[in-house]
Chains A and B, each alone.
Chain A
Amino acid sequence: MGLEEKLPSGFVLTTVEQAAGWVRKSSVFPATFGLACCAIEMMTTGAGRYDLARFGMEVFRGSPRQADLMIVAGRVSQKMAPVLRQVYDQMPNPKWVISMGVCASSGGMFNNYAIVQGVDHIVPVDIYLPGCPPRPEMLMDAILKLHQKIQTSKLGVNAEEAAREAEDAALKALPLIEMKGLLR
């Protein structure tokens, strides 16, 4: 939120975009949002063998106000959902969400009364990471992919343009129910 959002479209903006993207991706601060089994793998990723410090991300922030990445690691229950949303709301912009594991992504094997069937019902998700739980290498892969996404993210008028394009593409896309694919 500042000058960069007000720049006119053009090469100045794209240069600023690249610089801002590079800076942002190089210092991502994850908030600890460990819930279940995936949280243990998330901690493992931060510990010695997998060493998330190599990507400048080993410092997990306890407070959401100091974090810009939420790794939702584990199953989200109906009781936890409002808490999760509040933590997300407390994080400053720009912020990103990795939905770690199948339970966070889609409810997974717990298709029942207690579990939210996908954390994207509550917060926008940038990266869906499958696995039950995903291996630390998979989490690091998701984080690197997110870095790429942050690096190429747009600012100001370009961001509005990108959002419009994404919306158009989504409107034109074939609805899931009309896809006749692998199962038919």
Chain B
Amino acid sequence: MSGDRLLEIRGLCVDYGHGPDAVHAVTDADVVLHRGEVLGLAGESGSGKSTLVMAATRLLRPPGVITGGAVRLYPAVGTEVDLLEADYDVLRVLRWSQVSLVLQSAMNALNPVMTIRVQLTDALAAHQPHLSRQDRHARAVELLEMVGINSDRLSSHPHELSGGMRQRVMIAMALALQPQVVIMDEPTTALDVVTQREILEELKDLRDQLGFAILFITHDLSLLIEIADAIAVMYAGRLVERAPASALFRAPRHPYTLGLLSSFPPLHGPRTPMTGIPGSPPDLRALPSGCVFHPRCRFAFDKCAVQAPPLAVVGASNDRLAACWLQLGDGPAPAELALREPDLTEPTASANGTQTSSGPTGRPAPTERPAPTGVPERAADHEEPVQQGSTA
């Protein structure tokens, strides 16, 4: 994974509706997707995962309103574009050629009255008008073969295909213009586990061949651990943790992630009782004060109910972020949230690992925390709450 930024979502806020009854579906979300990376976006239903990507691609439907933030796309050639500022014609050119979309149910995502051929080639016709009819047909055949479907299916209608085939067609469609980013919103949720496995394997192969980045949305954290390079966890419209997949799995830093991980049984290793997360997700119209997770958090302390923690770098490596006061030097991080990270090659990391398990004293204070300018994970506008927090 290179450090090359591809899609950068900064401080994105999305409401449904206006005024006091507005539902704050996404608050201050920061997500950075690197070139060629598979980033998993996990969270329970209603945590704002889909809203986040729909807003970022400007496909959000009313009554959804983007109330703030920036979404910068760095195309392979050309200058960066802020998708939230771009006018419709600019968006049209970028859509599908740079960012494509695969949705959960391919039955609904394929137009029932049009043939597979039409739906595979319409984007080609719109984006590459110089292609002849034969060229488009040849590309459609190529795309179908890429996902293992016989080209005689081109004349079929979606209802004549099985669920797995439809999702493959959808993936082929998403790759038609060789986009940089493929956003997958629960692409395998509607499929049985065997088909799900097949499609994930195919997806990995295709990614290795073509090198596109994937923003993979799912509520199934165990699935992400297999496919994703990095995982971002959302809760109540906020990003609460982001980490490399294995690090997040072995050593979660946010209590919510820990709760999610304790909600499914490991297939290997010692048996541990599953605990789950007490309570239920908050009402997005009336969020709790401070950290939105504090009413359900067994580690919560006074400050959590007062002030919302920022998403900040935790530990020495810049690819770990968490929004939790326990990790920001205010309370002693409990042992469950300070496990040693696996496979860290840098010598400082292991030292950091031991220090975190011994308490917060060894960790650099938030203001001293290394925040190199080249690394996008931390936006400057979040400095302030951290400092307030450390002085409170």
State yes or no: do A and B come from one complex. Answer: no
User: Which residues of B are in contact with A by a Cβ distance under 8 Å?
Assistant: none
User: Which residues of A are in contact with B by a Cβ distance under 8 Å?
Assistant: none
